[in-house]
Structure 1
Amino acid sequence: MTSARILVTGAAGFIGKRLCDHLRTAGNPVRAATRTEASAQRLRDDGWDARCVEMRDPSALAAALEGVDQVYHLASVVSARSFAAARQVNVEGSRLLALEAAKRESPPRLLYVSSLAASGPVEGGRARTEADPGRPVSYYGRTKLEAEQALRGLADRLPVVAVRPPGVFGPGDLNLLQMFRSVRAGLNFVAVSQRYRYSFVYVEDLAEGMRRAMEAGDRLTHDHPSDGLYFLADPQPMTFGQLGDAVAAALGRRPPRCVTIPAAGCWGVATAPELWGRLTGAKTYLNYDKIREAVAGEWFCDPARADRELDWRPEKGLADRLIDTHNWYVRQKLLPANR
């Protein structure tokens, strides 16, 4: 079987780096596209074919697409300070990339990495499925859904499949590290409600799911809004209380004390990073857009379609994957070795 020549956008990010490693391990030549020249140079120093690509520059996109068979499109603005800023990259950048790909004599197959945020929170206590209409509550979710729709509009010119991962964790993720540290100190901070359930997926399992969706997934069509769309998640959602207990088990500690932060407190906690981001332009993960999602309710989905059509499911359960994540933190000296 001939190896595919692959372009990965957003290759310097948490998920992008793991996906590039996963694809190269499978024997595929990978071209890594990044937002800045500095990040591209770091990847080149590590032996990658990497280049800086401005997602709104058609000529740069055309050059990056030269000779590739598959495109994994991960580049996006996650913590947006405004809808317009998120839309420029998440929607217009995705549209331009797809238009340039469609111009190829043999257009590459494109996998778009969307998000559970495009679906919106759970309604009526039932897990979200691909057939449910999208009702996003954040700038990020709205632009991810709009990008899906823009790509669906090019379905007759370009083969596209889309995946919607939920919360992603694993080696390289520094957000869950904060929970490991607080749980190690005996506390688990929970936003809004201890009853809310969430879906998660380990980054290596996600990378394999994306590879399978690229190889075997249905493509987006004009006919049905759920065609070519896949949730990639562990089938068992967790409350943050349960997640904290599982983190404690990975640490070899007693279950932590849960401290619930009410909605008003969540907005207050996000105010400082929100203002800092606005004043300095710095990227901040925790901002008002993330709080819009946090206070909206439960976020979990049903990955049965991926199991059925892609023969994909997580290789291990969440408890074992949290142990794997803990071990990576220790190897990186982000947590002490003693559990």
Structure 2
Amino acid sequence: MSRILITGANGFVGTNLAQKFVAGGHSVRCLIHKNLSEIKNIPVEIRYGNIADPASLTKAVKDIDFVFHCAGALRAKNIKTLYDINQTGTKNLIEAVHKYNPSIKRFVYVSSQAAMGPCINLEDPKDPNGLCGPVSDYGRSKMMGEREVLKFKDKIPVTILRPAAIYGPYDKDIFTFFQMASKGFFPILTGRKNCYVQLLFISDLIEICNLILTKNEFKSNIYFLAQKQHYSWHEIGKIIGEAIGKKVLIFTLPAWFIKFAAITSETAMRLIRNEASPFNRDKIKEFCQQYWLGDSSKTEQDFNFTFTSLANGAKITYNWYIQNKWLSRTKYQNQYL
């Protein structure tokens, strides 16, 4: 049994990770800022703290074998907050681990493909150990967080995981695409055709994290996680439609409309809820890239792992949405493209 600290345990990745580790008989401690909604029914130890506040981390990192750092900001009302959380927060956490728990078995940072950036064509997926080229402030802030972790690679064991776009149970972002597809339409938000991405089913990320607990040899500090197969957004819409069992109208929105919609969404969320919008100009910079492809072959080899296909993952995800009443079945199902 391992003693594990999860930051961001109330988020999409953290919730799935906490469930997996508890089911495996491990002792799980969760560092929570304020919201317990997603993990309140999972038997874990709760420690309140904030990675932006170094003093709140001291007790949380003690007597722990593994840290899985999942906390981070996907979006923020201002750019500075992204760096305060994703870079400085990560710096605070790993410094606390090094100071108060230097014999830790491993510090795992769940970063993002956004830190690595897109590639230039279909034939040359991005090497996770090559130069980074993030195109958004989110990506740059995650890249800076990675650099803070790598400063300690000769002092404590560290591993950086760079997942591609993640989908699956508890996800609220890609859920939007399932939601629209269930209503019969699937807009492509790239502003142009023939944009390609790789995806990662949440269970694959969780299983890689689980394998880390018993893995003794790591051939790299950085691993890219994604199904090797790439998809156009039209193919993704078609596969989600098939998973739902519904005929889906797939269409590409023009770039000018997407940018206008992002500005409108940002303004409305700021005025009405005083929150950052999930659909924003920084995110559009990522959406409009043509080739979000990385090389996951080293991950497959080093972990002896096969990633889940989108067809299978989409079916599992849709069934979870139905079972948990995020979506409801309609009479128009089984009329897919």
Cross-structure match for 1:149: 147
Instruction: Determine the C-alpha separation between the residues in 1 that align with 2:232 and 2:29.
Output: 38
Matched, 1:336 2:297: no
238-247 or 260-269, which moves further after superposition? 260-269
Amino acid at match of 2:199: F
- What is the aligned counterpart of 2:316 among 324, 331, 334? 324
Contact 2:103 2:156 in 1 (8 A): no
TM-score (norm 1): 0.90
Q: Kindly report which structure 2 residues correspond to 1:51-70, keeping only aligned pairs within 5 A, or say none.
A: 51-70=47-66
CA-CA distance at 1:178 after TM superposition: 2.3
Amino acid at match of 2:90: S
Contact 1:161 1:218 in 2 (8 A): no
Matched, 1:173 2:149: no
Instruction: Determine the C-alpha separation between the residues in 1 that align with 2:184 and 2:172.
Output: 19
Cross-structure match for 2:239: 246
174-183 or 119-128, which moves further after superposition? 174-183
Contact 1:161 1:213 in 2 (8 A): no
Q: How many pairs are equivalent?
A: 327
Contact 2:111 2:160 in 1 (8 A): yes
Instruction: Determine the C-alpha separation between the residues in 1 that align with 2:266 and 2:276.
Output: 10
Unpaired runs of at least 5, structure 1: 221-226
Matched, 1:193 2:192: yes
Cross-structure match for 1:293: 286
Instruction: Determine the C-alpha separation between the residues in 1 that align with 2:54 and 2:295.
Output: 37
CA-CA distance at 1:287 after TM superposition: 1.1
Instruction: Determine the C-alpha separation between the residues in 1 that align with 2:179 and 2:102.
Output: 52
Instruction: Determine the C-alpha separation between the residues in 2 that align with 1:228 and 1:219.
Output: 7
Instruction: Determine the C-alpha separation between the residues in 1 that align with 2:242 and 2:145.
Output: 39
- What is the aligned counterpart of 2:129 among 127, 131, 136? 131
- What is the aligned counterpart of 1:267 among 259, 283, 287? 259
Q: Kindly report which structure 2 residues correspond to 1:36-115, keeping only aligned pairs within 5 A, or say none.
A: 36=34, 39-40=35-36, 43-44=39-40, 46-103=42-99, 104-115=101-112
230-239 or 81-90, which moves further after superposition? 81-90
Post-superposition Cα deviations, 1:4-36, rounded to whole Å, max 9, x if no partner, equal 100000000011100111111122111011221
Post-superposition Cα deviations, 1:150-187, rounded to whole Å, max 9, x if no partner, equal 11112222211000001111111122332223223332
Instruction: Determine the C-alpha separation between the residues in 2 that align with 1:133 and 1:56.
Output: 28
Amino acid at match of 1:159: P
Cross-structure match for 1:118: 115
Instruction: Determine the C-alpha separation between the residues in 1 that align with 2:16 and 2:102.
Output: 30
Contact 2:22 2:43 in 1 (8 A): no
19-28 or 329-338, which moves further after superposition? 329-338
Q: Kindly report which structure 2 residues correspond to 1:12-31, keeping only aligned pairs within 5 A, or say none.
A: 12-31=10-29
Instruction: Determine the C-alpha separation between the residues in 2 that align with 1:21 and 1:46.
Output: 7
Structure 2 vs 1, CA of residues 282 and 260 (structure 1 numbering), >3 Å: closer, same or farther?
same
Contact 2:18 2:42 in 1 (8 A): no
Contact 1:120 1:137 in 2 (8 A): yes
Instruction: Determine the C-alpha separation between the residues in 1 that align with 2:266 and 2:214.
Output: 40
Contact 1:195 1:239 in 2 (8 A): yes
Contact 1:200 1:233 in 2 (8 A): yes
Contact 2:161 2:223 in 1 (8 A): yes
Structure 2 vs 1, CA of residues 97 and 135 (structure 1 numbering), >3 Å: closer, same or farther?
same
Contact 2:192 2:254 in 1 (8 A): yes
Structure 2 vs 1, CA of residues 41 and 171 (structure 1 numbering), >3 Å: closer, same or farther?
closer
Instruction: Determine the C-alpha separation between the residues in 1 that align with 2:152 and 2:67.
Output: 15
Cross-structure match for 1:208: 207
CA-CA distance at 1:218 after TM superposition: 6.0
Post-superposition Cα deviations, 1:37-86, rounded to whole Å, max 9, x if no partner, equal xx247735543211221112222111111210100001001113433111
Cross-structure match for 1:223: none
Instruction: Determine the C-alpha separation between the residues in 1 that align with 2:152 and 2:319.
Output: 43
Cross-structure match for 1:224: none
Q: What SS does the corresponding residue of 2:305 show, helix, strand or coil?
A: coil
CA-CA distance at 1:284 after TM superposition: 2.2
54-63 or 278-287, which moves further after superposition? 278-287
Instruction: Determine the C-alpha separation between the residues in 2 that align with 1:29 and 1:130.
Output: 32
Structure 2 vs 1, CA of residues 52 and 247 (structure 1 numbering), >3 Å: closer, same or farther?
same
Unpaired runs of at least 5, structure 2: none
Instruction: Determine the C-alpha separation between the residues in 2 that align with 1:123 and 1:105.
Output: 40
Post-superposition Cα deviations, 1:241-281, rounded to whole Å, max 9, x if no partner, equal 10111111111123x23221122211111112212344453
Post-superposition Cα deviations, 1:170-222, rounded to whole Å, max 9, x if no partner, equal 111122332223223332201222311111111111111122245437669xx
Instruction: Determine the C-alpha separation between the residues in 2 that align with 1:297 and 1:83.
Output: 24
Instruction: Determine the C-alpha separation between the residues in 1 that align with 2:104 and 2:245.
Output: 51
Contact 2:266 2:276 in 1 (8 A): no
